[in-house]
C-alpha cells in the first residue's frame, strides 16, 4: 500500500464510520468539533484503523488522533515502526 492509498483508506473509514461527506474530510477537520463524532465514534474509529492496518493503538495514544491530519500522521509513524 502506498502512502496515497493509505490516506485514501483512512478517509474512506472516516466517511463510512461518521457518515459524513467526503468533501468534509479535510486534513484540518477535527473528528469531534467538525465531523460530529461522539466518544463512542472515536473509539470505533480507532478500532477500524487497528483492523484496517493490522496495528494496535494504545489507549494513551488515542488522544493524538484528534484531527484527520493527526490521525494520518500517527498511522504513518506507527506503520514505519
Partner 1 sequence: MAENDIFNSGLIQFEQKPGGIMNNLENKVAWITGSGRGIGKAIAQELGCRGARLVIHDIDRESAEKTAASFNEKGYPSIALVSDVSDKAEAIETVDRIKKEFGSLDILVNNAGITRDNLLVRMKEDDWDLVMQINLKGTFLCTQASAKLMMKQRSGRIINIVSVVGVMGNPGQSNYAASKAGMIGFTKSSAKELSARGITVNAVAPGYIETEMTAVLPENVRSAFIEATPLKRGGTPADVAKAVAFFAGPESAFITGQVLHVDGGMVM
> What backbone torsions phi and psi does residue 30 show, to the nearest 5 degrees?
-85, 135
Nearer to partner 1, 27 or 43 (CB): 43
Nearer to partner 1, 2 or 58 (CB): 58
The yes or no reply on residue 44 touching partner 1 (CB under 8 A) is yes
- Rounded to an integer, what distance in angstroms lies between the CA atom of residue 71 and that of residue 14? 10
Catalytic residue among 21, 34, 38, 54: 38
Query: Which residue in 1, 32, 3, 8 sits closest to 18, CA to CA?
Result: 32
Which residue of 2, 5, 40, 81 would you call a contact of partner 1, by CB under 8 A?
Answer: 40
**Stretch near partner 1 under the rule CB under 8 A, chosen from 2-10, 36-44, 59-67, 68-76:** 36-44
- Rounded to an integer, what distance in angstroms lies between the CA atom of residue 58 and that of residue 30? 20
Indicate the SS3 state at residue 67: strand
- Note the residues at the interface with partner 1 (CB under 8 A): 38, 40, 44, 47
| Residues carrying an active site annotation | 38
Amino acid at each position: 500500500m502506498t502512502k496515497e492509498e493509505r490516506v485514501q483508506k483512512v478517509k474512506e473509514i472516516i466517511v463510512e464510520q461518521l457518515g459524513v461527506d467526503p468533501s468534509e474530510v479535510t486534513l484540518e477537520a477535527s473528528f469531534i468539533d467538525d465531523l460530529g463524532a461522539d466518544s463512542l465514534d472515536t473509539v470505533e474509529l480507532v478500532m477500524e484503523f487497528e483492523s484496517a492496518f493490522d496495528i494496535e493503538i494504545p489507549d494513551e495514544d488515542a488522544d493524538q488522533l484528534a484531527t484527520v491530519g493527526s490521525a494520518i500522521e500517527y498511522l504513518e509513524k506507527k506503520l514505519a515502526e
